[in-house]
Amino acid sequence: MRVKVTERRAVGATGLQLTALGMGCASLGGLYAPVDAETAITTLQAALDAGIGYFDAAPMYGLGRAEHMLGYFLRERVPQAPVVVSTKVGRLMARERPGRPLPPEAEKNPLDSGWHNGLPLREVFDYSYDAIMRSFDDSQQRMGRARIDMLFVHDIGRVTHADAAGFHWSALTMGGGFRALADLRDAGIIGGFGLGVNEAEVVLDAMNEARLDCTLLAGRHTLLEQNADALLAKALDEGMAIVIGGVFNSGILAAGNSGNRKFNYQDVPQEVARKVDELAAACAAFDVPLAAAAIQFPFRHPAVTSVLIGAKHPDRVRQNVGWFEQALPNELWQALEGRGLIS
C-alpha cells in the first residue's frame, strides 16, 4: 500500500487529523550533534513545504530548545499554517537555586545521549496533577501557543525509570496525572492525550487507567523490531490512534551498518548488526533502499495513523519524503516474511 505524505487520518474522536508523515523535533534539540538555529528553521520549513502538517516536540528535546525552535517557526514564520502540534509532559525543566534544591528524582534517563546545544537546565521527573499542569503551562510559554493539540505522557515505565517506575506510575494514576490531562481535554484546552514511550506494555496498562486518544510508540514496531502486536490490536479495537516514531531505530535502519551505527540511542549490538545486514541484502535484491522499507513498514498495520521522522537538515527531510513515497513491490514484503525477518 502506497501512502502519500499529505494523506490525513483521524485521531479517534478528537476531531484532529494527522498527516501520514509527521516531523519529530528531537534532532532540533541537538540530539547526537548540534543544530544551529537557522538550520533548524529551514528544516522545519522543508517539512512544511513537503506537505508535513504534524509536528511533535518535548521539553526533554534540548532541555526546552526544540520547543522554542518549533514555537518560533510556527508563530513568526508561518502563523497561518494548518498544523497539528503535540508535546509531552512528565519532565519539568529547572535549575538548582537557593530555596529550591533539585530533588532526588532529577534522574538521568538511560536513553538520553545528551544534547549538544541544549539549554542550561536539568530535567526533573514529575507525573503528578500539579506537575502535569505546570509542564503544560511551561510548554505553552516556550512555544508561544495558545493551544497545544495533544499531550503525551513521556517515558513512563521501567525502561526509563527502573526501580522508580512504581513511584512515578503512582503519581500518574493515584496522584492525579491522568486526571489533569482529562481535565484539560474536557475543558477543550487540548484535543487529546496519550503516552509517548519506548515500550508497548506500559501503554496497555495505561489503557486500563484512562481513555487514551493517541499513543506515540518509538522503536517497537519497526522493520527491525516488532514487539507491539498486542498493543496495535487493542488500539485498533478501541479506536486509539498510534503514531510510530523511531522508524530507523535511532539511525541503524537509515543506511545500514555503513551509516549511523546507533540502535535504541546506543551502540549497535552484534546480533542487531547481523539482522540489519540481512534486511539490507533482502531490500537490495529488489533495488529498494533499506531506509525506504523502514519508513514504510509501520503502515502495513491498520492501527498506525502517522509515522514520525527526525531529520535535522532540509536535505534529509526531502530524502525521507522520497523514501516514504517511493513505490515498493509487494514481493519485497513477501520475501521479508518468507525469510522470517518480519512478522
Q: Contact at 8 Å (CB) between 297 and 266?
A: no
What are residue 308's DSSP bridge partners?
22
Q: Is-catalytic flag, 56?
A: yes
Out of 32, 56, 126, 138, which one is annotated catalytic? 56
Distance (Å, rounded) from C-alpha 259 to C-alpha 268?
A: 11
For 90-247, where are the E strands, in sequence order? 91-94, 122-125, 150-154, 192-197, 214-218, 241-245
Out of 88, 126, 129, 312, which one is annotated catalytic? 88
Cell of 266: 546506543
Other CB atoms within a 10 A radius of the CB of residue 241 amount to 26
Q: Is-catalytic flag, 127?
A: no
For the chain, where are the E strands, in sequence order? 8-10, 17-19, 21-24, 54-56, 84-89, 91-94, 122-125, 150-154, 192-197, 214-218, 241-245, 262-263, 266-267, 304-309
CA 87 to chain centre: 9
Counting beta carbons within 10 angstroms of the beta carbon of residue 312, is it exposed (0 to 12), middle (13 to 18) or buried (19 or more)?
A: buried
Cell of 184: 484539560
Distance (Å, rounded) from C-alpha 336 to C-alpha 343?
A: 9
Other CB atoms within a 10 A radius of the CB of residue 204 amount to 14
Other CB atoms within a 10 A radius of the CB of residue 4 amount to 13
**Amino acid, single-letter form, for residue 101:** P
Active site residues: 56, 61, 88
